[in-house]
Amino acid sequence: MNILVCISQVPDTTTRVAVGTDGSSINPAGVKFILNPYDEFAIEEGLRLREKSGGTVTTVTVGPDTSKEVLRTALAMGSDTAVFVKDESRSDSFVVASSIADLAKEITPDVILFGRQSIDFDSFALPSMVGELLGWPNISMVSSLTIEGTQVSAERDIEGGKESVSATLPCVISAQKGLNDPRYPKLPDIMKAKSKPIADRVATVVEPRVVTLSMTLPVSKRLNNIMTDSDADIDQLVRLLHEEAKVI
């Protein structure tokens, strides 16, 4: 089974981001970038599918030069090859999806895996766009996956429960947390990743469908929730501490 895993680089969750001088992008100076956490589940699932059924795992990322680093992480985790699609334009999801779909047409994977979302822009758009561009089924938010022959069975997380679905290969899957327990790269594999090939590829040129006008940082506001010592307020406080603050 040939597997394509699509990953992206995102600012570390502990990094404090600033808006760039153009007012519509993140200023990358001083920002630590990491592999998008949901993509770790996608890589791990790709490796497990390969371990079960054979084949190869190819990892791709679309972005500026600095985003190449995440491909090394994927290679160290066990991906066989990697493709780097250079795109400095910080385009919308459609442009990125077009590049990935064109790559998929060339290397004809049986399955394409994504993380459910990238934690920076949260558009949730790529998996379904790529599925649409290729005319393939797309199963999102997958928390359990079995592939037998060309038959795909998956469980999806839906509000308040689970949904079981099936489809046939080729298809697009987006990984939900809990799909698996991603492995740490082994130290010897980190060394070996240095010599694994990363193929450079030119981005597909299409017009973006969505243009970012501006970015602003959220203004922190006080909630002014003042509790009294009434029984009702105490119950409410306990509920808020448990459900909202998640400290008890």
Residue span binding other proteins (CB under 8 A) among the ranges 131-139, 181-189, 219-227, 235-243: 181-189
Residue 153: φ, ψ to 5°: -120, 135
Rounded CA separation 140/60 (Å):
19
Binding of residue 232 to other proteins (CB under 8 A):
no
Residue with Cβ nearer other proteins (82 or 154) = 82
Binding of residue 191 to other proteins (CB under 8 A):
yes
Task: Return the residues of window 7-36 that contact other proteins according to CB under 8 A.
Answer: 34
Q: What is the DSSP string of 35-90?
A: E-HHHHHHHHHHHHHHHHH---EEEEEEE-GGGGHHHHHHHHHT-SEEEEEE-TT-
The alpha helices in the chain, defined as continuous H runs, are 37-53, 69-77, 93-107, 126-134, 187-193, 231-243
**CB atoms near residue 243 (< 10 Å):** 9
Stated as kind and residue range, the H or E segment containing 201 is strand 198-202
Residue span binding other proteins (CB under 8 A) among the ranges 99-107, 113-121, 147-155, 191-199: 191-199
> Min. distance of Cβ 190 from other proteins in angstroms?
5
CA angle 145, 115, 123 (to 5 degrees): 130
Task: Return the residues of window 75-94 that contact other proteins according to CB under 8 A.
Answer: 76
**Contact status, residue 82 vs residue 62, Cβ threshold 8 Å:** no
> Min. distance of Cβ 59 from other proteins in angstroms?
15
Residue with Cβ nearer other proteins (34 or 96) = 34
Size of the site for other proteins (CB under 8 A): 14
Contacting residues for 232 by C-beta, under 8 A, at least 6 apart: none
Residue span binding other proteins (CB under 8 A) among the ranges 123-131, 150-158, 179-187, 230-238: 179-187
Residue with Cβ nearer other proteins (134 or 193) = 193
Among 16, 194, 221, 222, binds other proteins (CB under 8 A): 194
Binding of residue 72 to other proteins (CB under 8 A):
yes
Chain positions contacting other proteins, by CB under 8 A: 34, 69, 72-73, 76, 184-188, 190-191, 193-194
